Amino acid sequence: MSSETTETCDAFLGGRVQLYQPADGYRAGVDPVMLAAATPAQPGQHVLELGCGAGAALLCLHARVAGLSLTGVEMQPMYADLARRNAALNGADMRVVEADLRHLPPDIKTRGFDHVMANPPYYDRARSTSSLNAGRDMALAGDTPLSDWIDVAAKRLAPKGYLTMIQKADRLPDILTPLMARLGSVRVRAIQPRVGRVAELVIVQARKGGRAAFVMEPPLIMHEGERHLRDGESYTAQVLTILREGGDLPWGH
């Protein structure tokens, strides 16, 4: 593809991550940054992202935590290629595998990972309208049920490993049933646009072999105030730290 006409190079984490993205189609925003911030990886651990797109979440995690072994799975060739180029651009030792998550190559199917990350398509194919852009349509709706994402993630986790996932809030029921059947120590954090507003997104964490009780974490509030009053950014201090400085989004204990 011609980078002059079909791609942009965008800065994340205050410029610590540079990301080539298609000018049209699915483009990463704050969601993969939040996913990376909520993934409690430690140096030396192995991280797998299912549906890594152009690599935004893995590269944001790489910028925050040194010494990780990173693997991304992406079924769309264009995005897999972008992810490889972005890994090189950001100096990340990151392997990108072009595959359907339901048909992983043998060397991944036989490995256990300390963390699995996922930002599955937000819309239920049966209840959504297809996008004219094929890449955007696959990223936003796809054809793989959430239960399959969770099943694959659970199989790929090493004992005591963590799954961290971001998804639309109204799909939380679709997540919890299969998740709690496969993993334990489930925690949920709602992401609200402002105080008093309905949550639009949720971040969900679960642990393989975990036995702790279900926890509903305090919500993350994205913007200051109860309504938008002026032009310009209004992110809360916590969100600014995540978006601009690569800060983490810790879970309670």
Quote the pLDDT of residue 128: 44
pLDDT of res. 140: 43
First to last CA, the chain: 47
Tokens of 173: 């029921």
Strands 69-74 and 46-50: parallel
Rounded Cα distance, 207 and 205, in Å: 7
**Taking the CA atoms of the chain, what radius of gyration do you get in angstroms?**
17
Domains of the chain: 3-245 (3.40.50.150)
Query: How many CB atoms sit inside 10 A of residue 68's CB?
Result: 23
- Taking the model in full, what pTM does it have? 0.88
What gap in Å lies between CA 202 and CA 84, rounded to an integer? Answer: 28
User: Computed from CA positions of residues 45, 216, 127, 132, in that sequence, does the dihedral angle turn out positive or negative?
Assistant: negative
What residues does 10 pair with on adjacent strands? 19
Phi and psi (nearest 5°) for 115? Answer: -140, 140
What are the mean pLDDT values of the chain's consecutive 10-residue runs (253 residues total)?
Answer: 69 97 90 98 98 97 97 96 97 96 94 97 60 45 82 98 97 95 97 95 98 96 78 86 96 80
